[in-house]
Amino acid sequence: MVYLTWAGVNTPAAKRLRFIDDVEMPNELAKRWVLREADPQLVANYCQQLSVSPLLGRMLALRGLADCAQAKTYLSSSLREDLPAPLMMADMVSAVRRIVDAIKSKEQIGIWGDYDVDGTTGASVLVSFLRAIGAAPIYHVPHRIEEGYGLNTEGLRRLKERGVDLVVTVDCGISNAREVAAAREFGLDIVIVDHHQPPEEMPPAVAVINPHRKDCSFPDKGMCAAGLAFYLIIGLRAKLREVGWFKNAADPDIRHYLDIVTLGTIADMVPLKGINRTLIKRGLVELANSTRPGVVALKQVAGIAAGAVSAGQVGFRLGPRINAAGRVDYGIKVVELLTTESSEIALRIAQELEAHNLERRAIEAQVLEPALAQAQAAMSGGARHSLVLAGAGWHPGVLGIVASRVVEKFHRPTVVIGFNHGAGKGSARSIRGFHMVEGLRRCADSLEKFGGHEYAGGLSIKPEQLEEFSAAFENAARQMLSLEQLSPLLEIDAELDFPAIGMPLMRELEILQPFGVGNPEPVFTTANAEVAERKVFSAGVRYRLRQAGRVLSGVIFGVGDDYPGMPGEQMDVVYRLTENAWNGTTSVELKIVDVRPAEAEVSSFASRVLS
């Protein structure tokens, strides 16, 4: 990487964080502007073999695509051509065989979904598919407060009492060996579908579908539980075809389940590359055209008009409403919403989710304020590599969101813990370079239990363990993170001159969509842009910027009147590109990410990229 500068803004306005669900807010910490390096030979290969421009070739190279074959798959994202076979996944054969046997013998199947977004959406996929092929599954989603995360023996026993013979878990179960063993003793078979990091020894289930298993040769490890549920129904449909199940009826078109898979995958913030990208690229089309009553109602309460749905709308508008049920009420409502055939019931539940989301935001604000105050005090008290924040009565449903907000502001691995009735539940969020599960593993002696992913985790802790855990977590962060990694990177894909920016460039960049985690929206920089106009408004600052004889509009949110850039001044600016429709015309606008005073020594990178 080429370091352009170490720059940032340290003004009262820049320090003022405003949280708007669908707008990215600036980070107050000084950022390291970094121009990403692309292999010139790889870029040349893409340009020649894929017939793309030098800029698009560079974008492909920067997305970690190792060769033209990978780049071609990325560009096509074909369900038929680009998805690996389900049977490549460990235990898929056993899972499919057991479920199909249950379907044929009319055993009662139970679906146990986690209360989080990919658990509820993944459960909805399985419930909908099983109903479509003639089964009548029942489902259970544990209450976050009353039952907690994962399987519990009493809940499994109640399912057995309701006549269930087989339980399929979604987004949980991988860490529940004891509960799975207990279920076997009272005659309940378990199939686990989970994407969390597995323990050394698998639970004693009939099958464990988890691509992170050491013995799993499936090439893509990045799917969430909703994606794994979709892969399971691919395998089920193939097996049911084989046994002649559909000889008197049409088999389901599994593409129609991608609207639900898309909701879970984007909202769970797994990387939108590989299989996830293939599923989501088609899934957004299904989501836009979905007639599923729950999806129609959810879009209605979220204010999403008919037509194309973007990944951003899913992540910032639909996802939070789905997640709100499990955070402040009961996640089972999401499964009811997405599996009902009644438009009236769907609208009622969607309106309840809207109310829960408003409640979630109010609860979040109540926890966020003291959490930020604790974090500020900790940061002011000396050099910190991590933050452990805790409070009595903090609602467990918003701890993950609050942890994310703290990371946005302070760029430190953060654990936020709420103590209720003498027990502590925590959510953790991380930064690049700090694998959260590994960090928590180094603190295991101070925790009751923990789990999660590279960038997120959850834990249980006793009040008397808090001080010891905080010290151990800080020690782990100091071992795993350098001082340089504590400053947020602002990675830049390319430098552009304003005359190159227009609708043709926007159309060219569309092929990279959908954007999200793991497939970020391209970030550009332009040097020596003159501020022609400047206007402060309620949500930020608008500019008119002039460079190389071209004037473009730009906007940055979450800042105020003292944000840099006065008329006549020269700035270097980092931005993304967006389309702005006004009075029947469409133009390109800059979504400004950061600015700095213009520097004299500017590379001629733009001419090299765009030539």
| Mean pLDDT of the region 107-129 | 96
pLDDT band for position 583 (50/70/90)?
Answer: confident
What is the mean pLDDT of the segment spanning 161-188? 96
CATH of domain 2-36+495-610: 2.40.50.140
Q: Using one digit for the tens of pLDDT, what is the confidence trace for 88-98? A: 999 999 999 99
**Can you tell me which residue has the tokens 């299904």?**
286
When pLDDT is cut at 50, 70 and 90, the band that residue 602 belongs to is very low
Please check whether residue 520 is in contact with residue 511, taking contact to mean a CB–CB distance below 8 angstroms: no
CATH architecture of 79-356: Alpha-Beta Complex (3.90)
Domain with CATH 2.40.50.140 in the chain: 2-36+495-610
Task: Give the helix/strand (H/E) hosting 572.
Answer: strand 570-582
Q: What pTM did the predictor assign?
A: 0.84
Q: Does residue 514 have a cis bond before it (omega within 30 degrees)?
A: yes
Q: What is the pLDDT of residue 1?
A: 36
The string over 6-32, giving b where at least 16 C-beta atoms fall within 10 Å of a residue's C-beta and e elsewhere, is ebbbeeebbeeeeeeeeebbbbbbbbb
Inform me whether the pLDDT recorded for 382 exceeds 60. Answer: yes
Alpha-carbon gap, residue 431 to 571, rounded angstroms: 29
| Distance between CA atoms of residues 124 and 332, nearest Å | 10
Report the range of poorest mean pLDDT among 29-43, 200-214, 491-505, 563-577: 29-43
Q: Sort residue 269 into left (φ over 0), alpha (ψ -120 to 50) or beta.
A: left
**Is residue 227 a contact partner of residue 196, using CB atoms and an 8 Å limit?**
no
pLDDT higher than 90, residue 19:
no
DSSP string, 429-480: E--TT--HHHHHHTTGGG-SEEEE-SSEEEEEE-GGGHHHHHHHHHHHHHHH
In the structure, what pLDDT confidence band is assigned to residue 20 with cuts at 50, 70 and 90?
very low
Q: What is the dihedral of CA 430, 432, 438, 441, to 10 degrees?
A: -30
Across 540-568, average pLDDT: 94
Percent of the chain topping pLDDT 70: 93
Which of the two residues, 456 and 129, has the higher pLDDT score?
A: 129
Q: Which two tokens stand for residue 170?
A: 């979604």
CA–CA distance, 362 with 377 (Å, rounded to integer): 24
What dihedral angle (degrees, nearest 10) is formed by the CA atoms of 48, 49, 51, 54?
A: -50
In whole angstroms, give the CA distance from residue 337 to residue 308.
21
Residues of the chain with CATH 3.10.310.30: 383-480
Computed over every residue of the chain, the mean pLDDT equals 90
Q: How confident is the model at residue 27 (pLDDT cuts 50, 70, 90)?
A: low
For residue 28, the model assigns a pLDDT of 63
Question: What would the pLDDT profile of 31-53 be if each residue is shown by its tens digit?
Answer: 889 999 999 999 999 999 999 99
Q: What average pLDDT does range 59-71 have in this prediction?
A: 92
What pLDDT does 454 receive? Answer: 85
Alpha helices in 16-87 (DSSP H): 40-50, 54-62, 68-76, 79-82
The two three-digit tokens of residue 232, written as one number? 């399971």
* Whether 419 contacts 391, CB under 8 Å: yes
The 10s digit of each residue's pLDDT in 262-316 is 999 999 888 899 999 999 999 999 999 999 999 999 999 999 988 889 999 999 9
**What stretch(es) of the chain map to CATH 3.90.1640.30?**
79-356
CB atoms within 10 A of CB 500: 18
| CB burial readout 531-562, b (16+ within 10 A) else e | beebeeeeebbbbebbbeeeebbbbbbbbeee
Which 3 state secondary structure label does DSSP give 608? helix
Decide if pLDDT at 248 tops 60. yes
What pLDDT sits at residue 2?
A: 37
Confidence at residue 237, expressed as pLDDT on a 0 to 100 scale:
97
Contacts of 471 (CB under 8 A, 6+ apart): none
221's CB contacts (< 8 A; 6+ apart) are 211, 212
Comparing 501 with 3, which gets the higher pLDDT? 501
In residues, how long is the chain? 611
Task: Provide the CB-side half-sphere exposure for 130 (13 A, CA).
Answer: 28
pLDDT tens for each residue of 426-448? 999 999 999 999 999 999 999 99
Q: Does the structure show a pLDDT above 50 at 4?
A: no
Measured CA to CA in angstroms, residue 602 lies from 35, 59, 406, 529, 545 at distances of: 12, 21, 34, 12, 18
Strand order in the sheet with 423-429: 387-392, 414-420, 423-429, 456-461, 449-452
Contact in structure between 571 and 595 (CB atoms under 8 Å) = yes
CATH topology of domain 383-480: Diaminopimelate Epimerase; Chain A, domain 1 (3.10.310)
Per-residue pLDDT at 607 exceeds 80: no
Q: How confident is the model at residue 393 (pLDDT cuts 50, 70, 90)?
A: very high
Say what the pLDDT of residue 606 is. 40
Check whether 22 has a pLDDT greater than 50: no
Per-residue pLDDT tens digits for 148-157? 788 999 999 9
Q: Distance (Å, rounded) from C-alpha 572 to C-alpha 385?
A: 30
